[in-house]
Amino acid sequence: DQQVKQNSPSLSVQEGRISILNCDYTNSMFDYFLWYKKYPAEGPTFLISISSIKDKNEDGRFTVFLNKSAKHLSLHIVPSQPGDSAVYFCAASDSGNTPLVFGKGTRLSVIA
């Protein structure tokens, strides 16, 4: 049973437009959420995170929104750039040092 779900395997967006990647979770004990970006043949790279005490965290072109009641989070990238093309993983954890639980990822393609 998947605790973190990314229901869109792929997403294609035009350069300059907004990319919205979605993630749903089922475990109500999760209180910290992260997004990782992965290029081919590389390990995942941390992008942005959010604690459950917040509903929004922004870092440059990247913003993560958290809706606890819906158990849903989203990553917004604006404006999207071709270099953003990668696989994006949503991850969650439920206490200080427990392992991250990952979704299956969404492949983002930003078209010039």
Partner 1 sequence: GAGVSQSPRYKVAKRGQDVALRCDPISGHVSLFWYQQALGQGPEFLTYFQNEAQLDKSGLPSDRFFAERPEGSVSTLKIQRTQQEDSAVYLCASSPIFSGGRREAFFGQGTRLTVV
SS percent in the chain: helix, strand, coil, step 5: 5, 55, 45
Binding part of the chain for partner 1, among 12-20, 60-68, 76-84, 100-108 by CB under 8 A, reads 100-108
44 contributes a contact to partner 1 by CB under 8 A: yes
11 contributes a contact to partner 1 by CB under 8 A: no
Q: Which of 12, 26, 28, 51 binds partner 1 (CB under 8 A)?
A: 51
Q: Which of 21, 34, 73, 110 binds partner 1 (CB under 8 A)?
A: 34
Number of residues that bind partner 1 (CB under 8 A): 26
Residue with Cβ nearer partner 1 (85 or 88): 88
Q: What is the spatial distance between Cα 77 and Cα 44, in angstroms, rounded to a whole number? A: 18
Give me the residues paired with residue 74 across strands.
Answer: 22, 65
22 contributes a contact to partner 1 by CB under 8 A: no
Q: Which of 86, 71, 72, 73 is nearest to 10 (CA)?
A: 86
Query: CB of 2: closest distance to partner 1 in angstroms?
Result: 9
Query: CB of 42: closest distance to partner 1 in angstroms?
Result: 6
Asked whether 99 and 92 are in contact (CB, 8 A), the reply is no
SS3 83: helix
